[in-house]
A = this chain, B = another copy of it.
Amino acid sequence: MAEEPQGDAAQDGDSAHGHSHRHRDQVVARLARIEGHVRSIREMVLASRDCPEVLTQIAAVRAALQSAGKVILEDHFESCIVSAVERGDHATATEEFKQAFSKLAH
């Protein structure tokens, strides 16, 4: 499987997960930025930067993670949840949505 950001990722996604994610490459790029942001916060702490500054950056990373999570949830909604509704499987659709949403909403 060639699961790189550049390529036919959606098809690969199908094989592993049963559906594709429209914004997968965007999510991967966001997560890469978040990873770099966490690294830079670690460097701030090592450099004994001011605590409120460090806390501001931690809050920014938490917001960025929540934002990436929202994109994942939207993709999830657009793919498996909508598919379940289209199949007439409303119970599964509702359960899928509730499960995914509950992960994000705290």
Contact = CB atoms under 8 A, between A and B. Distances in A.
A27 interface: yes
Contact of A48 (B16, B46, B52): B16
A103 B48 contact: no
A100 interface: yes
Give the number of copies in the complex.
2
Interface residues of A, number: 54
Nearest to A54: B72
B46 A72 contact: no
Contact of A62 (B39, B62, B100): B62
Contact of A47 (B12, B42, B65, B73): B12
Interface of A: 3-5, 9-10, 12-17, 20-21, 24, 27-28, 31-32, 34-35, 38-39, 41-42, 45-52, 54-56, 58-59, 61-62, 65-66, 68-69, 72-73, 75-76, 80, 96, 99-100, 103-104, 106
29 contacts: A3-B47, A3-B48, A9-B46, A13-B47, A13-B48, A16-B47, A16-B49, A21-B45, A21-B48, A24-B48, A27-B45, A28-B46, A31-B38, A31-B41, A35-B38, A51-B75, A52-B76, A52-B96, A55-B69, A55-B73, A55-B100, A55-B104, A58-B66, A58-B69, A58-B72, A58-B104, A62-B65, A62-B66, A65-B65
